[in-house]
Amino acid sequence: MDKKLRVIIEKCPQNHKCPAVNVCPVGALTQKDFKAPKIDHEKCIRCGKCSNFCPKKALVL
């Protein structure tokens, strides 16, 4: 079974720029204003860097 990145909205404060967006090596995460990040599953390589970096643990594989 393949891991798939997802955002747990309840854990994402959505009141700042998401720091995990900048650690994605392939640009699979984007954010508009302070909303929760969007995931481009076509780009995502499931490396786990963003989920390990997210201080609120709102990004999970």
pTM of the model: 0.89
| Angstrom distance (rounded) from CA 16 to CA 23 | 16
Task: List Cβ<8 Å contacts ≥24 apart for 43-48.
Answer: 44/5, 46/2, 46/3, 46/4, 46/5
Structure tokens at 30: 């984007």
Residues 6+ apart with CB under 8 A from 49: 20, 23, 24, 25
Identify the pLDDT of residue 18. 95
Correct CATH for 6-60 of 2.40.10.220, 3.30.450.90, 3.30.70.20, 3.30.390.30: 3.30.70.20
The predicted structure's pLDDT at residue 57? 96
Taking only the tens place, the pLDDT of each residue in 2-56 is 789 999 999 999 999 999 999 999 999 999 999 999 999 999 999 999 999 999 9
